[in-house]
């Protein structure tokens, strides 16, 4: 059953031209889905629309059958959607621990068990728990951003270029972590520059081109499609 469904989304920034010109997509509960496509296809814009950071000009988004396209970002978070942006995804002057605490801002119970679990999953966060986020390296900040998003115990995790700026080893670790998160039942919708790696761990994928759906289907089939490999996957 679909956890989130987007119908015919049209969106853009300010009074400028539309970037999304009618994108439709769905993610089932516990599923990992990737969105791939060339630069300017509107992949990141689409995630922002789902997260409520950018309002769709047209179209409908349903989370568990409830319409969410008009809701504020914090209401969407409240309903179980967590978003990790590509950049500026942590609070630089707050410590690692404080970033995690803010991640669970809407959770009114004791946050310590969640924080403890997150520091066990990502040991480097424990080592640097008192450090300000601005003092972390790019990869460490990315890990913190994902951990802070998980602090909200989301049902759907939206990730915008999670491996951007990471070393190959750090990227591999991140993808392994994403698989573990997904195995716990969290659905993941991801935009990823390293499309092949993303397709390898995804169940399904969508290809966006110029703000429209170009292809959709099983991730393996898309990864093996010779035309898609030639156009978007570098051979």
Partner 1 sequence: MDILSQLVQLVINGLLSGAVLAMPAIGFTLMFAVLGFPNFGISGHLAVGAFAGWVLNAVYGWSIWLVIPCGFVAAGLVGVATDALVFRRMRTAAPITLAIISVAVTLFLENALRFGFGNTLRTYTVPLTRDWQVGGFRIGTQQVETAAWSLCVMAVLFCVLRYTQLGRALRATADNRALAGVKGIDTQGIARLVVFIGMGLAGASGILLGIDTSIDPLIGFRIMLAVFAAAVVGGLGSVPGAVLGAFVIGIAEEVSQIVLPAVYKSAVGFVLILLFLTFRPSGLLGERR
Location of structure tokens 């997150």? 118
Q: Which of the ranges 24-32, 39-47, 59-67, 88-96 carries the binding residues for partner 1, by CB under 8 A?
A: 88-96
Give the residue from 30, 29, 32, 75 showing the smallest Cα distance to 50.
Answer: 75
Is residue 16 near partner 1 by the rule CB under 8 A?
Answer: no
Is residue 73 near partner 1 by the rule CB under 8 A?
Answer: yes
Q: Which of the ranges 62-70, 97-105, 112-120, 180-188 carries the binding residues for partner 1, by CB under 8 A?
A: 97-105
The one among 88, 109, 169, 234 contacting partner 1 by CB under 8 A: 88
The one among 83, 122, 175, 206 contacting partner 1 by CB under 8 A: 83
95 contacts 132 by C-beta, under 8 angstroms: yes
Give the residue from 39, 51, 40, 36 showing the smallest Cα distance to 16.
Answer: 40
Task: Kindly give the pairing relationship between strand 58-63 and strand 2-11.
Answer: antiparallel
The one among 38, 67, 78, 210 contacting partner 1 by CB under 8 A: 78
How many residues touch partner 1 under the rule CB under 8 A: the total is 26
103 contacts 149 by C-beta, under 8 angstroms: yes
Interaction mask 147-186, partner 1, x per CB under 8 A:
-x---x----------------------------------
The one among 37, 42, 52, 139 contacting partner 1 by CB under 8 A: 52
201 contacts 32 by C-beta, under 8 angstroms: yes
CA distance 27 to 4: 5
CA distance 170 to 152: 23
Is residue 55 near partner 1 by the rule CB under 8 A?
Answer: no
Is residue 70 near partner 1 by the rule CB under 8 A?
Answer: no
For the bound state, the minimum distance from the C-beta of residue 91 to partner 1, rounded and expressed in Å, comes to: 4
Q: Which is nearer to partner 1, 134 or 230 (CB)?
A: 134
Is residue 138 near partner 1 by the rule CB under 8 A?
Answer: no
Q: Which is nearer to partner 1, 20 or 84 (CB)?
A: 84
Q: Tokens standing for 33?
A: 């889905």
Find the length of the chain: 235
CA distance 157 to 80: 9
The one among 7, 64, 105, 164 contacting partner 1 by CB under 8 A: 105
- Where does the chain have alpha helices with state H? 43-51, 73-78, 96-103, 112-121, 123-127, 138-150, 168-183, 195-201, 219-224, 226-232
Is residue 136 near partner 1 by the rule CB under 8 A?
Answer: no
For the bound state, the minimum distance from the C-beta of residue 141 to partner 1, rounded and expressed in Å, comes to: 12
The residues binding partner 1 (CB under 8 A) are: 51-53, 72-74, 77-78, 83, 85, 88-94, 98, 101-103, 105-106, 134, 148, 152
């Amino acid at each position: 059953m679909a956890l989130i469904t987007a119908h015919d989304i049209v969106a853009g920034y300010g009074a400028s031209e539309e970037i999304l010109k009618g994108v439709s997509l769905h993610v089932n509960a516990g599923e990992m889905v990737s969105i791939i496509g060339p630069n300017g296809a509107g992949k990141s814009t689409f995630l922002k629309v789902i997260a409520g950071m950018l309002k769709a000009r047209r179209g409908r988004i349903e989370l568990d059958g409830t319409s969410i396209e008009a809701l504020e970002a914090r209401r969407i978070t409240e309903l179980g959607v967590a978003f990790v942006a590509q950049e500026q995804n942590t609070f630089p002057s707050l410590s690692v621990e404080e970033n995690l605490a803010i991640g669970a801002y809407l959770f009114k119970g004791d946050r310590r068990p969640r924080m403890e679990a997150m520091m066990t999953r990502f040991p480097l966060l424990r080592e640097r728990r008192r450090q300000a986020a601005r003092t972390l390296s790019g990869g460490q900040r990315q890990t913190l951003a994902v951990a802070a998003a998980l602090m909200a115990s989301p049902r759907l995790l939206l990730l915008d270029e999670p491996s951007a700026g990471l070393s190959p080893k750090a990227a591999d670790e991140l993808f392994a972590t994403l698989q573990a998160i997904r195995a716990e039942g969290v659905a993941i919708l991801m935009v990823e520059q390293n499309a092949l790696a993303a397709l390898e761990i995804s169940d399904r994928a969508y290809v966006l081109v110029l703000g429209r759906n170009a292809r959709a289907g099983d991730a393996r089939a898309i990864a093996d499609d010779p035309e898609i490999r030639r156009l978007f996957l570098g051979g």
